[in-house]
Amino acid sequence: MADPRVEKLAKVLVHYSLGLKKGERFMIFGKPLAKPLIEAVYSEAVRAGAHVGHRVYIDELGDYFYRYADDEQMKFVWETEKQLIEEMDAALYIEGTYNTRAAAGYDPAKMAATAKARATLFNRRQERAAAGEFKWTITLFPTPASAQEADMSTRDFENFVYAAYFCDVEDPVAEWSKMDAELSTRASWLSERDEFRLVAEDTDLTFRTDKRPWKTDTGRHNIPDGEICTAPVEDSAEGFIRFKYPILYNAREVEDISLRFENGVVVEARARRGQNTLDEVLSVDEGARRLGEAAIGCNYSIEKHIKNILFDEKIGGTVHFALGLSIFEAGGTNTSGVHWDMICDLRPGGEYYADGELFYKDGGFLDVL
């Protein structure tokens, strides 16, 4: 029996997240298991008058590429891919796979080389988005593999996912709009501040924004969503921070990361598990050692860490920082083939200061507005 929440999600993605208009060129990217959502979105987008294209990727092809590709092949980028980046008005990227660790056995050096070669595509996409020329959204179609990663049954995981999307209520858009109104007020207040300090267990990190704007993410770029984010000044990060939650990079797990910054650059990086992966990410390019994003997770319907950054970075009561590519919409200038989010839980005693004023404590905002 078809899940009515899939149809509801498709309507949210097409009409709220992407706001597709008649005549816009729209691409759907996904994998075979996401077929029900791909079909629902395709149908809704066609009825909205968009010109709809799609690409369905097969997991196993990556194994052939990273096993057999030579240096020239790793550096090759199709002209059609460059053209697509320039021509798309909107894109939807749907996660959902048979195996969440399919890339775990790929050659890390080859993956790093490929990421470096494709950095210009990644950066150009973000530039167009910052200029208002391109709309994009990422979401997840729940699969048994993702449920296993989250230590849940498939049914429980589906319920968890659709609750995070607000697709378990009559009017999801009303819920996203309510969140947007609340977070916009918080973001306006933060945008008037310049110096920030985060204090938590094994963490004392400062950075500046030079009053760059804090942006709200409330269902436009991600579903699920719920965060406020900005781009730290590229040479401003000082101090140290610990990220206890396990996180994945190209399907390889890295756990309990500690970073130390000087003049905005990571000068020391340690992981309890996955040190080699951490070192490889930091060596992708110069920008990979700088902060591209500072954000606060504000979706309190997401409480459980599931090893999927699309959800984990939104957990209410946490903050996250991304190494690498900046948020250009927030005035960032750092470029990189990397954008890797790491999560720090502030619910057990964390404190966040803006221009010396405590505005966030124990995982929640204080009444400073």
Nearest CA to 90 out of 39, 173, 12, 28 is that of 28
Predicted confidence (pLDDT) per residue in 218-276, tens digit: 989 999 999 999 999 999 999 999 999 998 888 888 999 999 999 999 999 999 999 99
Co-location of 117 and 12 in the same domain: yes
Please name every residue paired with 299 in a beta bridge, in sequence order, or none if there are none.
315
According to DSSP, residue 32 is labeled G
Supply the pTM of this predicted model.
Answer: 0.87
pLDDT of 164 higher than 60: yes
Co-location of 105 and 181 in the same domain: no
C-beta atoms surrounding 92 within 10 Å: 28
| Amino acid identity for residue 29 in this structure | F
Compute, in degrees rounded to 10, the torsion defined by CA atoms 34, 223, 14, 122.
-80
**Domain harbouring 156, CATH code:** 3.40.1830.10
Co-location of 96 and 193 in the same domain: no
How many structural domains does the chain have? Answer: 2
pLDDT at residue 334 in the model: 94
Co-location of 119 and 226 in the same domain: no
- Sheet with 90-95, side-by-side order of all strands: 51-56, 25-30, 90-95, 135-140, 222-223
Co-location of 141 and 192 in the same domain: no
How many residues belong to the chain? Answer: 369
Nearest CA to 196 out of 210, 211, 186, 206 is that of 206
DSSP characters over 291-330: EEEEEEE-BTT--S--S-HHHHTTBTTEEEEEEES--GGG
168, 197, 213 — which closes off a domain?
168
Position 369 confidence tier, pLDDT thresholds 50, 70, 90: low
pLDDT of 112 higher than 70: yes
Range of the domain at 121: 4-168
Co-location of 208 and 260 in the same domain: yes
Do 24 and 51 meet the contact criterion of CB atoms below 8 Å apart?
yes
Alpha-helical runs (H) found in 55-203: 60-68, 71-75, 79-87, 108-117, 119-130, 144-149, 154-164, 172-191
Position 29 confidence tier, pLDDT thresholds 50, 70, 90: very high
Query: Residue 33 and residue 53: Cα distance in Å, rounded?
Result: 18
168, 183, 199 — which closes off a domain?
168
C-beta atoms surrounding 333 within 10 Å: 12
Co-location of 128 and 234 in the same domain: no
Tokens in use for 368?
Answer: 């400073």
